Amino acid sequence: MRYISTRGLAPVLGFEDTLLAGLAADGGLYVPEAWPSLTKDQWRALRGLSYPELTARILAPFVDDAIDPATLTRLCREAYAGFGHPAVAPLVQLDHRLFALELFHGPTLAFKDFALQLLGRLFDHVLARRGSRITIVGATSGDTGSAAIEACRDRANIDIVILHPKGRTSAIQRRQMTTVLAPNVANVAVEGTFDDCQDLVKAMFADAPFRDEMRLSAVNSINWARVAAQIAYYAYAALALGAPERQVAFAVPTGNFGNVLAASAARRMGLSVHSLTLGANRNDILARFIAANDMSIRTVEPSLSPSMDIQVSSNFERLLFELMDRDAGATAKAMAAFRAEGRMPVPDATWRRATALFRASACDDAATLAEITRLDRAGYLADPHTAIGVAAARAHMPPDPDIPVVVAATAHPAKFPDAVAQATGRRPALPARLADLETRPERCAELPNDLASIEAFVRRHALRNAPREIA
């Protein structure tokens, strides 16, 4: 398996180099040169596998011969061994055809753990074999940062710096990052929005001398391996509900588009996916695009669902590349216009191809609270992001009553206790392993939205942490 950039000007890479590169050198995102496809018989053969075994089988064509099957299976088993539910990703029935796919039983209580617990081990495996070291830089709107830190803490060959928007994550999200005092971990609170943090990360990758000096790598969903690892839980849910003989629809609360992109990738691989519904909050750029081909940037507004407070969804570029028949030049042109003008010119024919698969709706904070209350009265406690996914699913149920709808339950309600308490009158408790989180000491730098300041901090952290001659 080889990987190409969505903008067509970066080198074609194998899996290991794609894993370590993250962002392509031309500013694009790596995607498979050709999509692997499974027959119905091959999908049937995956039924009944444990979650780690299924993940290894789904990843095998993307990894190809870079990692042997036995090692890949071992890494997957290790990645999910510490999850708090024996099914790893259990399905909970909400009504006669609506299900919650609980993706919050990992160490940081969010869906990001599924990819990042594995990604940390993949990095370690590849770096140890190469005798090399990397510096990971990432931006987070709340959940990616803690999951990445938990996956990379104390690893011998990795330094990690995570940027988050100051004051724009929940207190629990912030503390899950800033209370990790491992020497290879650093946190930066940036004076700005998540989009500002994401732009800083992209700018560091675009700064070729700095990128090479620091041996930068990425854990955001710009890293293809992270998207690939998330395909497995869509397959796991669909197979449990009767695929490939039965179609399944998914509803996904969406910010940076990587999670729902993994569901789209599962469909490209032949999984019986009927439709994909995006749930957005007041930062509704993706919902506006699906509804009216309006891909225009507005001001990022804080909400009760901070992981979705995003206007520039990085992974949308991967979808655009496919919608444009993999025309890298057209993709690069559209992305350049988006950055320059704040609006993406998507041809109507291309937009209609998106609406053939995707549905979308948006919830403001009041509607989010109302959905949390509604679910609570029915016996299910949901965080704000999951509630938005459920509301979107209810708005776009497939007309065929035999098609079940699976909502990606992306975070534990205890990560957002204030919102849940506002809707239900009670604050959900953290699991026992995190019960003392609010009293742990924090360590975090506060820096302006300035590339030079951020690069200087990253350089100091990497060199202080692991003195070495950096090529």
Q: What is the pLDDT of residues 139-158, one digit of tens each?
A: 988 788 999 999 999 998 99
Q: How confident is the model at residue 466 (pLDDT cuts 50, 70, 90)?
A: low
**Which of 111, 112, 92, 110 has its CA nearest to residue 101?**
92
Write down the catalytic residue from 40, 112, 166, 202.
Answer: 112
Percent of the chain with pLDDT over 70: 99
Q: What value, to the nearest 5°, has the Cα angle with vertex 168 and ends 165 and 169?
A: 100
Residue 16 predicted with pLDDT over 70:
yes
Residue 23 predicted with pLDDT over 90:
no
What is residue 467's predicted lDDT score, i.e. its pLDDT?
45
Residue 45 predicted with pLDDT over 60:
yes
How many whole angstroms separate alpha carbon 378 and alpha carbon 395? 18
Q: How confident is the model at residue 469 (pLDDT cuts 50, 70, 90)?
A: very low
Architecture of domain 91-109+224-424: 3-Layer(aba) Sandwich (3.40)
Q: Where are the domains of the chain?
A: 91-109+224-424
Average pLDDT over residues 330-343: 95
**Contact residues for 459 (Cβ-Cβ < 8 A; gap 6+):** 210, 213, 214
Is the link from the previous residue into 244 a cis peptide, with omega within 30 of 0?
yes
Percent of the chain with pLDDT over 90: 86
Report yes or no on whether pTM surpasses 0.85. yes
The backbone torsions φ and ψ at residue 109, rounded to the nearest 5 degrees and listed phi first, read: 70, 30
Q: How confident is the model at residue 465 (pLDDT cuts 50, 70, 90)?
A: low
pLDDT in tens, 213-249: 999 988 877 899 999 999 999 999 999 999 999 999 9
How many whole angstroms separate alpha carbon 23 and alpha carbon 32? 14
Average pLDDT over residues 160-174: 93
Residue 53 predicted with pLDDT over 90:
yes
pLDDT in tens, 171-186: 998 999 999 999 999 9
What is residue 220's predicted lDDT score, i.e. its pLDDT?
78
What is residue 200's predicted lDDT score, i.e. its pLDDT?
95
Q: Does the active-site annotation cover 202?
A: no
What is residue 141's predicted lDDT score, i.e. its pLDDT?
81
What is residue 387's predicted lDDT score, i.e. its pLDDT?
98
pLDDT in tens, 111-121: 999 999 999 99
